[in-house]
């Protein structure tokens, strides 16, 4: 096929897709056709469909074949043939599937509802077989046929054909087709339309064609997933420019040897955005950023941000100051300058906390962040706010987190958070164990305190003491699993197995894993006979579990036969 003929076919295909169909990989009998079947035909084909829906394609193939043999004159025969092909294709027997699909084209070429998908599936089989040229030939046939091109499955063929044109370096031409797809499939095939829309939008962005991009936006009625009304003056449409900024960022990656292209790209888009939305800070920040990428003039970048701030800052707009602090990360003097603009006496807890987070995590200005910590109004803060602050400080500074915890009105609550930090965050027995002594006497926190004590002793290698603490925690089966780990560390196979048996017998959801772990314990101890017996028990008793598959693989790896026997008796 010539490129011109293929191009025409693509455009025809895009324009002629049936808007009443939704994209799916399967073709079904229409309800009208199903109602026209005799009672016996309907029962037979319905039985086959149920088996197909369950994924038993081997049995379904036999059911469809039986239907064809018994009801050879039925209007559902082409459907049954198509499903036979699908059964083979689903089982990866694609060469055989192609032969079945060809039967439909040989005997029922005018039965479009089933002949068209036969062409599509033939192309799909060739594609999956690693024969793309054969696939494109099939899909091109679908695109060329006036009736086949109306079938809902044509959408998939269209995308594949357009993608192939890009591979043939006919990029500009392919984009025209993608644009046509984006328009024609906007509501009838949202997935295909979105794919095409993004391809062409990315292309226009990378090629610095803002007018074409804006024209596309108008034609497809916005870049949102659902069509939306578009105003007459898109140059001032902030929804449009919001999406354009995303596109610029997404397509603005260049290799090390593309420095000149990068500069030209960002200079173009900075200019295209210029003179718009002066009070939209994020928009103006992007212009400044793009200009910086284009010319490397950092002083001009700083001045532009300073000027933007000065033009629109209103008294008491703390959030805007915090935003500028974040924008100036990497410039300590500017961070400090804007930090000094904050009026902490009028700031809320949330604002101070946000400032601390910005300074610490975003700007990495730890000294300034610690100074910010001193600005909290502790006498006005609730314990809930202090707990939120511990979440901000978690993993940042142990000293500040401890200081916050010690300021709780509810002292045990603060200590419990600090203990959790020493246990989970640090595994710090030195500082954590003394806290467990203080909390085990508090009914609300005793269980967690005992468990934390067990964890800290466990990580310190004090396994016997850890077992006692876990047992006192009394939060089975969580604590019992930890006890098992301690016994394993101690090399006490008998007690580890006994504890696992207790878990298996009393906690049904944990039973398969406990039984499997018994086998693992024996294996680690070099007790092969007991190990094999335990794994076989899992196969027999928990055959539908994932642990059964693990035990099966373990036995195979050990060179053991899979089956029963006297050595498979329960422990």
Largest CA distance in the chain: 88
Cα gap 472→112, rounded to integer Å: 73
Tens of pLDDT, residue by residue over 253-302, are 999 899 999 999 999 999 999 999 999 999 999 999 999 999 999 999 99
Half-sphere exposure of 143 (CA within 13 A, CB side): 28
Please give, one letter per residue, the 3-state secondary structure of 511-566.
HHHHHHHHHHHHHHCCCHHHHHHHHHHHHHHCCCCHHHHHHHHHHHHCCCCCCCCH
CATH number where 505 lies: 1.25.40
Cα gap 234→537, rounded to integer Å: 70
pTM of the model: 0.74
Region 170-198 average pLDDT: 85
Position with higher pLDDT, 254 vs 189: 254
Residue 569 has pLDDT above 50, yes or no: no
How many folded domains does the chain comprise? 6
Instruction: Verify that 12 and 160 share a domain, yes or no.
Output: yes
Q: What is the pLDDT of residue 24?
A: 55
Region 173-195 average pLDDT: 83
3-state secondary structure of 380: helix
Instruction: Verify that 332 and 357 share a domain, yes or no.
Output: yes
Residues 6+ apart with CB under 8 A from 271: none
Instruction: Verify that 95 and 109 share a domain, yes or no.
Output: yes
Instruction: Verify that 11 and 106 share a domain, yes or no.
Output: no
Q: Residue length, the chain?
A: 571
Where is the domain boundary, 472, 507, 533? Answer: 472
Cα gap 486→382, rounded to integer Å: 40
Residue 153 has pLDDT above 60, yes or no: yes
Residue 6 has pLDDT above 90, yes or no: no
Instruction: Verify that 137 and 29 share a domain, yes or no.
Output: yes
Q: What is the pLDDT of residue 20?
A: 33
Least confident of 140-149, 472-481, 482-491: 140-149
Tokens of 244: 């354009």
Instruction: Verify that 438 and 535 share a domain, yes or no.
Output: no
Contact 490, 461 (CB under 8 A): no
Q: Please say whether the dihedral angle defined by the alpha carbons of residues 389, 395, 396 and 398, taken in this order, is positive or negative.
A: positive
Least confident of 9-23, 53-67, 139-153, 514-528: 9-23
Instruction: Verify that 483 and 539 share a domain, yes or no.
Output: yes
Cα gap 306→29, rounded to integer Å: 67
Give CA torsion, residues 449, 451, 453, 458, to 10 deg: -170
Instruction: Verify that 147 and 159 share a domain, yes or no.
Output: no
Cα gap 500→517, rounded to integer Å: 7
Token match 């300073």: residue? 306
| Residue-number span of the structural domain to which 326 is assigned | 319-373
Q: What is the pLDDT of residue 14?
A: 41
Of the chain, the end-to-end C-alpha distance in Å amounts to 72
Instruction: Verify that 14 and 49 share a domain, yes or no.
Output: no
Least confident of 135-144, 219-228, 351-360, 395-404: 135-144
Tokens of 517: 């772990």
- How far does CA 392 lie from the centroid of its chain? 26
Share of the chain above pLDDT 70, in %: 94
Phi, psi of 87 (to 5 degrees): -60, -45
Instruction: Verify that 215 and 268 share a domain, yes or no.
Output: no
The overall average pLDDT reported for the chain is 91
Region 143-150 average pLDDT: 80
Half-sphere exposure of 499 (CA within 13 A, CB side): 23
Q: What is the pLDDT of residue 30?
A: 86
Where is the domain boundary, 472, 507, 540? Answer: 472
Q: What is the pLDDT of residue 154?
A: 74
Phi, psi of 491 (to 5 degrees): 75, 20
Contact 76, 37 (CB under 8 A): yes
pLDDT band, residue 23 (cuts 50/70/90): very low
Region 530-552 average pLDDT: 95
Residue 187 has pLDDT above 90, yes or no: no
Contacts of 58-66 with C-beta under 8 Å, sequence gap 24+, read 58/87, 58/91, 60/87, 61/87, 61/88
Q: What is the pLDDT of residue 563?
A: 55
Cα gap 152→185, rounded to integer Å: 11
pLDDT band, residue 440 (cuts 50/70/90): very high
Least confident of 98-112, 128-142, 325-339, 456-470: 128-142
CATH number where 138 lies: 1.25.40.10
Cα gap 106→125, rounded to integer Å: 18
Cα gap 419→427, rounded to integer Å: 10
Region 193-200 average pLDDT: 92
Residues 6+ apart with CB under 8 A from 291: 266, 267, 270, 297, 300, 301, 304
Q: State the alpha helices, DSSP H only, in 340-461.
A: 349-357, 366-373, 383-393, 398-405, 411-420, 429-439, 446-459
Q: Please say whether the dihedral angle defined by the alpha carbons of residues 528, 531, 537 and 538, taken in this order, is positive or negative.
A: negative
**Enclosing H/E stretch for 487:** helix 478-490
By CB atoms closer than 10 A (0-12, 13-18, 19+), residue 550 is middle
Percent helix / strand / coil, the chain, rounded to 5: 75, 0, 25
pLDDT band, residue 515 (cuts 50/70/90): very high
Position with higher pLDDT, 495 vs 5: 495
Cα gap 233→195, rounded to integer Å: 26
Instruction: Verify that 79 and 185 share a domain, yes or no.
Output: no
Cα gap 356→436, rounded to integer Å: 30
Q: What is the pLDDT of residue 564?
A: 44
Q: Please say whether the dihedral angle defined by the alpha carbons of residues 178, 181, 186 and 189, taken in this order, is positive or negative.
A: negative
Smallest CA-to-CA distance from 48 within 75, 87, 78, 74 is with 87
Q: What is the pLDDT of residue 497?
A: 97
Instruction: Verify that 396 and 359 share a domain, yes or no.
Output: no
Please give, one letter per residue, the 3-state secondary structure of 31-55.
HHHHHCCCHHHHHHHHHHHHHHHCC
Where is the domain boundary, 117, 151, 185? Answer: 151
Smallest CA-to-CA distance from 439 within 459, 415, 422, 460 is with 415
Residue 15 has pLDDT above 80, yes or no: no
Residue 547 has pLDDT above 90, yes or no: yes
Contact 459, 429 (CB under 8 A): yes
């Amino acid at each position: 096929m010539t490129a011109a003929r293929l191009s025409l076919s693509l455009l025809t295909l895009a324009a002629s897709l049936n808007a009443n169909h939704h994209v799916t990989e399967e073709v079904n009998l229409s309800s009208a056709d199903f109602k026209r079947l005799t009672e016996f035909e309907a029962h037979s084909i319905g039985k086959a469909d149920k088996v197909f829906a369950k994924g038993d394609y081997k049995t379904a193939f036999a059911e469809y074949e039986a239907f064809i043999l018994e009801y050879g004159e039925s209007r559902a025969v082409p459907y049954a043939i198509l499903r036979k092909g699908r059964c083979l294709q689903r089982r990866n027997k694609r060469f055989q599937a192609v032969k079945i699909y060809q039967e439909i084209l040989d005997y029922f070429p005018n039965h479009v509802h089933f002949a068209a998908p036969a062409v599509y599936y033939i192309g799909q089989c060739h594609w999956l077989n690693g024969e793309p040229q054969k696939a494109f030939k099939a899909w091109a046939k679908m695109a060329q046929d006036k009736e086949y091109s109306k079938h809902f499955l044509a959408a998939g063929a269209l995308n594949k054909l357009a993608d192939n044109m890009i591979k043939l370096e006919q990029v500009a031409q392919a984009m025209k087709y993608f644009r046509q797809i984006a328009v024609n499939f906007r509501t009838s095939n949202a997935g295909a339309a979105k794919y095409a829309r993004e391809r062409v939008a990315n292309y226009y962005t990378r090629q610095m064609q803002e007018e074409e991009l804006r024209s596309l936006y108008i034609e497809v009625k916005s870049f949102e997933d659902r069509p939306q009304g578009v105003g007459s003056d898109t140059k001032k449409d902030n929804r449009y420019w919001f999406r354009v900024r995303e596109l610029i960022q997404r397509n603005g990656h260049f290799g090390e040897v593309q420095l000149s292209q990068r500069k030209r790209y960002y200079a173009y888009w900075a200019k295209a955005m210029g003179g718009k939305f002066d009070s939209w800070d994020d928009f103006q920040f992007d212009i400044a950023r793009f200009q910086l990428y284009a010319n490397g003039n950092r002083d001009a970048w700083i001045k532009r941000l300073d000027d933007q701030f000065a033009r629109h800052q209103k008294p008491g707009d703390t959030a805007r100051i915090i935003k500028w602090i974040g924008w100036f990360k990497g410039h300590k003097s500017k961070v400090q300058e804007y930090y000094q603009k904050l009026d902490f006496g009028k700031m809320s807890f949330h604002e101070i906390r946000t400032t601390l987070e910005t300074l610490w995590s975003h700007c990495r200005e730890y000294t300034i962040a610690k100074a910010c910590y001193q600005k909290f109004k502790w006498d006005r803060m609730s314990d809930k706010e202090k707990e939120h602050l511990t979440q901000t400080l978690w993993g940042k500074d142990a000293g500040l987190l401890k200081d916050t915890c010690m300021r709780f009105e509810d002292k045990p609550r603060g200590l419990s958070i600090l203990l959790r930090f020493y246990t989970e965050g640090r595994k710090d027995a030195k500082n954590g164990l003394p806290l467990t002594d203080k909390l085990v006497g508090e009914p609300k926190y005793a269980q967690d305190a005992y468990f934390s004590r067990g964890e800290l002793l466990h990580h310190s290698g004090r396994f016997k003491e850890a077992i006692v603490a876990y047992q006192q925690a009394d939060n089975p089966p969580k604590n019992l699993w930890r006890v098992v780990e301690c016994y394993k560390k101690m090399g006490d196979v008998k007690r580890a197995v006994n504890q696992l048996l207790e878990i298996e017998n009393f906690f049904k959801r944990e039973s398969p894993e406990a039984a499997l772990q018994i086998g693992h314990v024996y294996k680690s101890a070099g007790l092969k006979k007991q190990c094999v017996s335990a794994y076989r028990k899992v196969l027999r008793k928990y055959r539908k579990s994932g642990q059964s598959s693990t035990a099966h693989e373990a036995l195979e790896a050990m060179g053991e036969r899979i089956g029963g026997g006297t050595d498979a008796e329960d422990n």
